[in-house]
Structure 1
Amino acid sequence: MAAADLGAASGRVIAGRVGPGELSIEECHRFANRPVRVGGTLHWDILDLYRGVLDGVRRAGELDGVGIDAWGVDYGLLDADGALLGNPVHYRDGRTADASADRFGPDLYAVTGIQFLPFNTIHQLAAERRLERAHRLLMIPDLLAYWLTGSVGAELTIASTTQLLDVRARTWAPSLAARVGLAPDLLPPLRDPGTVLGTAADLDGTPVIAVGSHDTASAVVGVPAEGERFAYISCGTWSLVGVELTEPVLTEESRRANFTNELGVDGTVRYLRNVMGLWLLEECLRAWPDADRGTLLAEAAGLPARSVIDPDDPVFLPPGDMPARVADACRRTGQPVPATRAETVRCIVDSLAQAHRRAVSAAVQLSGHDVDVIHVVGGGARNTLLCQLTADACGLPVIAGPVEATALGNVLVQARTLGALDGDLAALRALVRATQPTTRYEPADQRRHPVGLAEM
């Protein structure tokens, strides 16, 4: 199989080979995902991303299937002839800056279970100027799958990020669509992960399969957990911190804590909170083009913790001079201001570890789902300092890896659909544990009380 995994900074195509007792992957192609600002609006270069997917899948050779996953909330609009009405707008564009949590009524969370983020699809659509000409809305992975196969639909895990889905019924919520002024047919039919969408003529007739099309949904499939008492941190540009449940948590306490109930593979619920993540570090490195990431992290590891900021402060959301914004945040909160690049990095990593603790603790308390271990997957699993500080902050073991959990989850859902594997999520995760390397980090102070239900 080929897994096309599109992230906010880059895309890649990874080939996977799967069978009983076998799970191996190899990167075939990596390409940049560079936003483009036109007329004051920040867009995704969606045609360049599509070309990257085509080039990568062709490099993968003969295949039994292709699956696409991507980030959530963003979309393309098609006209009545199926043509795209302009490049999709980037979620970091400023058009939703005035969005508010109560804009669409007090029952929004009770229906959708989705946390308030100003760039959620529902708020983007409220600012959309092309709706009168739009015939269909397709989320990013569904749009690319449509171009490959001609199949129009919305895979459930990515659809749940729109804040337009009834999380209990697992169907679109027409009353919410009406509040935004959407035409009844704008939202496409829903489909489950594991649905065969058709064949791609541009890829020699290879079947295209709907996977957990939200990248975090695929990443959670690829978590090498044993049992149910685990938390996960899918750590990259964002840290998605949460637990896996069978039912959503729709309490007022959950709404106030800004936790989200996104749908997962096999009827699960990804109960999680967004933490700003390694975006802060990546933006610092962009401001320091001569810096070496590994050297800075090693220097930061040798420093004591001095300053902690709130990484979820909206001031950190847009691109720009991140080191200056970190320094300003320290000044505003009376923290020591970092004097060197290494001190800035240490401040960011300490802040993320503390944010991870807060999110894990809140997930446990709000859901009643206790945890014994935290799994860190994605690019953040390579960051040894962050993994150790997260273990220290949470007072729980951290198991780091696999880095490519998203691609592994993508490939595993395809393989099960094609009959190469059988079993539930536990069986898929057992194969990940048996085949993929991980690193275990123990909390430095074993006497520290870990996060858990005992904190309630």
Structure 2
Amino acid sequence: MTTTPPSSALASTFAAVDLGATSGRVIVGRVGRENLDLTEAHRFPNTPVRLPDGLRWDVLALFQGALDGLREAARSGGVASVGVDTWAVDHGLLDADGALLGHPFHYRDSRTDAAAARVHSLVGPEELYRITGLQHLPFTTVFQLAAAEGTVQRKAARTLLLIPDLLIHWLTGSVGAEETNASTTGLFDARTGTWSQDLLRRLSLDPGLLPQLRAPGDPAGTLLPHVAAYTGLGPRTPVTTVASHDTASAVVAVPATEPDFAYISCGTWSLAGLELDAPVLTEESRAANFTNERGIDGTIRYLRNIMGMWLLEECRRTWDRENLPAHLSALLADAARAEPFASLVDPDAPVFLAPGDMPARIRDYCARTGQRVPGSQGAIVRCVLESLALAHRRALRQAAELAGRDINRIHLVGGGSRNDLLCQLTADATGLPVVAGPTEATALGNILVQARATGLVGDLADMRRLIASTQHLRHYTPRGDGTAWHAAAARLDPAPGHR
């Protein structure tokens, strides 16, 4: 049932703090009944720091960037609310006084490599999946906690806050855990939508470590006096809980106006899947390595994490260090001219997870699998994009089969929607039309949840209709009969769990 906003509601301005794996920004959104406009107030780098004990997020610099962005947002006029979203699984540990116990670890740090075996010795992988519904990823929060067992920081910890909840704590002084992000921790019951007390008991984790859950739209507090003074925002400016996992916010902004759609939230990761009413917790789903994460309004984001544009961006960082051309438009033009299907990789192969010389790892992968080794930058980019398109095809076909759903259209949102070649290759590989955009899906979802909390917009369908009517979208139609893509898919021999 559609909820109609009150006719007296006027346009309002909201600020979205949106932190990604490579940069953060504060986006200002002005929302009315029939208009939705975004302005970037401030952008700042997210540069991890390698310390002697591992790779860490510079969370203090991120918080300062958020404060500077909110100060810029205040200059645009009154801000009705602030919302925060970031990536998932990573967290800060607070001591009994509420002080942060060191910079949070980065999920790409290798310290968790052996932690899954420790957890699985207490709760087997099959049972863990039946409870949490999560795809196996070595850096999930539950494995990070296992890796930290016995450390001084872990012993002193009294509260665990996921990254967006940590920033909200510093903005407002309040403590909570937003449910879409909580659902990625491996400590959340996919059926009940609550922390799994059974898992906490069996893993010897103190239930008090995990804060009370919040839902998107819940109030999270108001700005602390010193935050309000620094930013210039009003001293009673509310902070609204949004879908704080960035993918959950991006899925809010999928401009779907009809059923039977799939989505790909494409950025550092490609999150490819379906929106469901209930989790799929079958053994077949676990074996296929699909995840059931919480979405807005109790929906389930049934998807697979794919290694996304990380491969291309890490290639560009390597080329930039080597003083080779790294401008994206030129690389994509070279890739469009490169020979199709000359070489392919499984983007989810573990060798591609860590930072470093990605072009060398791609060439080595091709050599080890008996393929032509790409000799030019264009050939490497072509390899990456075709491999991603095949991974999108594989994930969406399996999701539809496992969930018993049809797919008639794909919505590709996020930064990857700007990549015309990837969008067209995804349409060609899947044989389905692709609607690309909005690019700023995460910020839009963040802002619309805030707007709904004020009564300015209605339900999820209303939000999506507003996105579809106000944002620039591009359409891609599949080319050819799919024969070449079928043959290319047959060449890949993905790792178990990614077939």
Q: Deviations over 1:190-234 (max 9, x none)?
A: 011001111113133211000000000000000101122111000
Deviation at 1:178, TM superposition (A): 2.6
Task: Describe the SS at the equivalent of 1:14.
Answer: strand
Deviation at 1:34, TM superposition (A): 0.5
Task: Describe the SS at the equivalent of 2:315.
Answer: helix
* Alignment-mate amino acid for residue 269 of structure 2: W
One of 429, 447, 450 as aligned partner of 1:411 = 447
One of 163, 175, 198 as aligned partner of 1:175 = 198
Task: Describe the SS at the equivalent of 2:184.
Answer: helix
Residue 15 (structure 2) pairs with residue 6 (structure 1) = no
Is contact 1:398–1:440 with CA below 8 Å preserved after alignment? yes
**In structure 2, what is the equivalent of residue 143 of structure 1?**
166
**In structure 2, what is the equivalent of residue 237 of structure 1?**
268
Distance 1:449 1:385, change over 3 A: closer
Unaligned runs of 5+ in 1: 452-456
**In structure 2, what is the equivalent of residue 437 of structure 1?**
472
TM-score by length of 1: 0.97
**In structure 2, what is the equivalent of residue 108 of structure 1?**
128
Task: Describe the SS at the equivalent of 2:200.
Answer: helix
Q: 2-side partners of 1:58 and 1:304: how far apart?
A: 49
**In structure 1, what is the equivalent of residue 281 of structure 2?**
250
**In structure 2, what is the equivalent of residue 262 of structure 1?**
293
Q: 2-side partners of 1:52 and 1:265: how far apart?
A: 27
* Alignment-mate amino acid for residue 140 of structure 1: I
**In structure 1, what is the equivalent of residue 314 of structure 2?**
283
Residue 162 (structure 2) pairs with residue 127 (structure 1) = no
Q: Deviations over 1:116-168 (max 9, x none)?
A: 10000000000112221011000000000011111111000000000100111
**In structure 2, what is the equivalent of residue 79 of structure 1?**
95
**In structure 2, what is the equivalent of residue 454 of structure 1?**
none
Q: 2-side partners of 1:184 and 1:28: how far apart?
A: 39
Deviation at 1:357, TM superposition (A): 0.3
Unaligned runs of 5+ in 2: 1-13, 229-233, 487-499
Runs of 4+ residues over 3 Å off in structure 1: 99-103, 446-451
Residue 255 (structure 2) pairs with residue 224 (structure 1) = yes
More deviation in 256-265 or 199-208? 199-208
Task: Describe the SS at the equivalent of 1:298.
Answer: helix
* Alignment-mate amino acid for residue 189 of structure 1: Q
Q: Deviations over 1:82-135 (max 9, x none)?
A: 110111000000101124374432310000101110000000000112221011
Q: 1-side partners of 2:484 and 2:364: how far apart?
A: 33
Distance 1:160 1:415, change over 3 A: same
Q: Deviations over 1:350-409 (max 9, x none)?
A: 100000100010110001121100011011001111000000000000100000000000
One of 157, 161, 165 as aligned partner of 2:180 = 157
Task: Describe the SS at the equivalent of 1:255.
Answer: helix
Q: 1-side partners of 2:179 and 2:485: how far apart?
A: 34
Q: Deviations over 1:224-262 (max 9, x none)?
A: 011221110000100000000000000000000000000
Is contact 1:227–1:426 with CA below 8 Å preserved after alignment? no
Task: Describe the SS at the equivalent of 1:11.
Answer: strand
Q: Deviations over 1:397-429 (max 9, x none)?
A: 01000000000000000000012112x211110
Is contact 1:125–1:180 with CA below 8 Å preserved after alignment? no
Is contact 2:429–2:482 with CA below 8 Å preserved after alignment? no
One of 212, 217, 220 as aligned partner of 1:189 = 212
Q: 2-side partners of 1:304 and 1:48: how far apart?
A: 43
One of 338, 347, 365 as aligned partner of 2:383 = 347
Q: 1-side partners of 2:457 and 2:385: how far apart?
A: 39
Task: Describe the SS at the equivalent of 2:44.
Answer: strand
One of 61, 72, 90 as aligned partner of 1:59 = 72
**In structure 1, what is the equivalent of residue 438 of structure 2?**
402
* Alignment-mate amino acid for residue 127 of structure 1: A
**In structure 2, what is the equivalent of residue 296 of structure 1?**
331
Q: 2-side partners of 1:174 and 1:36: how far apart?
A: 35
Task: Describe the SS at the equivalent of 1:28.
Answer: strand
Q: 2-side partners of 1:182 and 1:89: how far apart?
A: 19
Is contact 2:25–2:44 with CA below 8 Å preserved after alignment? yes
Q: Percent identity?
A: 59
Is contact 1:357–1:393 with CA below 8 Å preserved after alignment? yes
Is contact 1:395–1:450 with CA below 8 Å preserved after alignment? no
Distance 1:173 1:220, change over 3 A: same
TM-score by length of 2: 0.88
Residue 413 (structure 2) pairs with residue 390 (structure 1) = no
Task: Describe the SS at the equivalent of 2:387.
Answer: helix
Task: Describe the SS at the equivalent of 1:213.
Answer: coil
Task: Describe the SS at the equivalent of 2:207.
Answer: coil
**In structure 2, what is the equivalent of residue 88 of structure 1?**
104
Q: 1-side partners of 2:285 and 2:246: how far apart?
A: 23
Q: 2-side partners of 1:369 and 1:193: how far apart?
A: 27
* Alignment-mate amino acid for residue 172 of structure 2: T
RMSD: 1.4
**In structure 1, what is the equivalent of residue 495 of structure 2?**
none
Q: Deviations over 1:163-191 (max 9, x none)?
A: 10011111101221233332120011001
Q: 1-side partners of 2:206 and 2:19: how far apart?
A: 29
Q: How many residues align?
A: 450
Q: 2-side partners of 1:449 and 1:270: how far apart?
A: 31
Distance 1:298 1:248, change over 3 A: same
Deviation at 1:439, TM superposition (A): 0.4
**In structure 1, what is the equivalent of residue 42 of structure 2?**
29
**In structure 1, what is the equivalent of residue 493 of structure 2?**
none
Residue 350 (structure 2) pairs with residue 314 (structure 1) = yes
**In structure 2, what is the equivalent of residue 19 of structure 1?**
32
